[in-house]
Amino acid sequence: MPVTNAKGADTLSAGRRASQDPAIRFVDVEQRFTPPNRPAFNALQEITFDIADSEFCSIVGPSGCGKSTLLNMAAGLLRQTSGEVQALGKRVEAVNTDVGYVTQDSNLLPWMTVEKNIELPLKIRGYAKADRARLVSEWIELVGLEGFETSYPHQLSGGMQKRCAIARTLVYDPEVVLLDEPFGAVDAITRTVLQGVLLDLWSSKRKSVLFVTHDLNEAITLSDKVVVMTRRPGTVKAIVPVDLPRPRDVYEIAEHPRFAELHKELWSLFKSEI
């Protein structure tokens, strides 16, 4: 059943899951920047692709090609120069409160404990106290932070901070989740563990995910499809379906014969853009 807030209104989830609209749609999007005392330049041009309902889509491309810019557009933090961005069937024209956004930095509030950080978006959205307590407890368990409820961010490892940031983003049940290289700053082993956590959450919650990464292995491991972008001005070079079976074990999926074929295909598209 959908969670209700303090006013008794259903969250977005019930209505959204019945919709046939793409979760995110980019249509002929262009982004032109005019920095002070520097020539204007196009960061993005002719970007058109969709993320389907419950689909896990990754974007790969060289640094500076506009991957994070696309996430900021979907979140309503940046207005495109031309073209159209839609989320859940609606044109994005302001800050998009229907999506969750996990940035490269965890951005946890240092004066708040784990449970208070996770609770914050629920308070902002007017959830009743009992619902907040239940959801925070549920998500602390889901991301494996039991025993650290009263810890502060500086007392957590980098991986634990990421778990907390993911819980804080998903606790209010957004139908679309944007993730901008969320595991880029952690070590390889922690990265694999966090990929497993994210994949388990996606499998159980079936959110629509737009995930930015530089790591081809990560993109293949997690995704239903991978959007490969060109160097700046970024445009879509190819969209590669990832036809590996699900559910996937992040520790063993690379041993699947198709994994190596997909990596070779993506690398052949990616290497000329570096």
Q: Does residue 119 carry a pLDDT above 70?
A: yes
Across residues 149-166, what is the average pLDDT? 95
Is a pLDDT exceeding 50 seen at residue 261? Answer: yes
Q: Which pLDDT band holds residue 151 (cuts at 50, 70, 90)?
A: very high
**82 torsion bin: left (phi>0), alpha (psi -120 to 50), beta (else):** beta
Give the tens place of pLDDT for each residue, 180-190. 999 988 899 99
pLDDT at 246: 95
CB of 270 closer than 8 Å to CB of 219: no
Q: What pLDDT digit, counting tens, does each position of 229-258 carry?
A: 999 999 999 999 999 999 999 999 999 999
What average pLDDT does this structure show over 135-162? Answer: 96
pLDDT tens figures, 60-97: 999 999 999 999 999 999 999 999 999 999 999 999 99
Instruction: List the domains of the chain with CATH numbers.
Output: 49-66+101-273 (3.40.50.300)
d(CA 103, CA 75): 11
> Which residue, among 181, 177, 142, has the nearest Cα to 163 in the 3D structure?
142
Torsion sign across C-alpha atoms 258, 259, 260, 263: positive
**Rounded CA gap, 2 and 17, in Å?**
11
Main-chain phi, psi angles of 31, to 5 degrees: -130, 120
pLDDT of 11 strictly over 50: no
Give the per-residue pLDDT at 227: 98
Rounded CA-CA distance 273/45 in Å is 16
Q: Which pLDDT does position 274 carry in this prediction?
A: 83
User: What is the structure's pLDDT at 16?
Assistant: 46
Prior bond of 35 cis (ω within 30°): no
